[in-house]
């Protein structure tokens, strides 16, 4: 009887090991590689004529990019460095600044200007608040 008992124990142990074997190696599989969410910037260029001036930077577009976690910054880039050089302070204060401020306020930590922006010499000399808005708030390089 001793042989039968020991044979049955070996049989049960062998069966248990066969059942447990897949579970023992199941934890050794590599975890699937998750794609990296690489951060990137979005550059939106706006022009001087009515068909390109603000349509390229619509509020809906800014809201869409603002909600994407992979977008680091959204830059508003003038098509031409000199496109505002002929504007006087009233035109800049009444038209340009409100539109740019509205866009910047979507996310003041994410939406900025980029590049050089030349302003009228009189505006530069007599209206430092305008220069501060473009240079300090929007981060344009005002020349």
Question: What pLDDT, in 10s, does the model give residues 73-118?
Answer: 999 999 999 988 998 999 999 988 998 999 999 999 999 999 999 9
Q: Which structure tokens are listed for 24?
A: 């023992």
- 77 burial (CB, 10 Å; 0-12 / 13-18 / 19+) is middle
Which residues lie below 8 Å from residue 3, measured CB to CB, with a gap of 6+? none
Dihedral sign, CA of 37, 103, 52, 76?
negative
- Statement: residue 137 has pLDDT above 90: yes
Higher pLDDT, 29 or 37: 37
Dihedrals phi, psi of 16, to nearest 5 degrees: -65, -40
pLDDT band at 141 (very low <50, low <70, confident <90, very high): very high
């Amino acid at each position: 009887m001793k042989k039968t008992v020991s044979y049955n124990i070996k049989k049960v142990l062998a069966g248990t090991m066969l059942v447990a074997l897949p579970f023992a190696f199941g934890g050794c599989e590599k975890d699937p590689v998750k794609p990296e969410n690489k951060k990137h910037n979005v550059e939106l260029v706006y022009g001087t004529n009515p068909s390109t001036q603000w349509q390229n930077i619509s509020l809906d577009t800014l809201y869409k990019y603002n909600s994407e976690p992979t977008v680091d910054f959204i830059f508003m880039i003038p098509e031409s460095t000199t496109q505002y050089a002929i504007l006087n302070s009233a035109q800049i204060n009444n038209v340009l600044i409100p539109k740019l401020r509205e866009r910047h306020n979507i996310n003041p930590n994410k939406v900025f200007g980029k590049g050089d922006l030349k302003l009228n010499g009189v505006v530069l000399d007599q209206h430092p608040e305008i220069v501060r808005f473009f240079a300090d708030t929007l981060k344009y390089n005002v020349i």
